[in-house]
Amino acid sequence: MGKQDCLFCRIAKKDIQSKIVFEDSQVLAFEDVNPQAPVHILIIPKEHIDKVSDLTPEHAEIVGRLVLAAKDIAAKKGVKESGYRIVMNCNKDAGQAVFHLHLHLLGGRKFSWPPG
Ligand code: AMP
Ligand code: ZN
């Protein structure tokens, strides 16, 4: 299972170490190695999906699970009341660097809007 050359597939298989904060049969969440906020967690499906624009109706459940995991982790990390942002970057204008679907959970500081 997983793409051999994909960083996040390798993290999901535990071939590459990460600081895991949540795991179930379909979802893994771990600390971003280059945090942009006091709380910066990446939430991924264990199944490889390149990016948002490749999603199909069959992915509705897993996408929902990513968001629900983010909500629970935000509460666990203490940013439920202060607030947080969830972000999915798709392709180059958004700056997607890792082509394995992931949701960023960012919190612990104030974010600007519109985003940079
Ligand atoms: P994106 O620009 O949305 O593709 O974000 C990719 C994110 O993955 C960036 O925030 C990186 O800091 C993060 N990242 C890259 N390599 C690792 C790694 N080995 N462990 C944890 N996070 C990583
Ligand atoms: Zn992958």
Respond yes or no: is residue 102 known to be catalytic: yes
Phi/psi at 64 (nearest 5 deg)? -60, -40
Q: What is the pLDDT of residue 1?
A: 63
51-86, pLDDT tens digit by residue? 999 999 999 999 999 999 999 999 999 999 999 999
Report every protein residue that has its C-beta within 5 angstroms of ion ligand 2. 3, 6, 8-9, 48, 100
pTM: 0.98
C-beta separation of 31 from 21 below 8 A = yes
> What is the distance between the alpha carbons of residues 35 and 12, in angstroms, rounded to a whole number?
19
**Which CATH superfamily does the domain covering 7-107 fall into?**
HIT-like (3.30.428.10)
pLDDT-derived band at 2, boundaries 50, 70, 90: confident
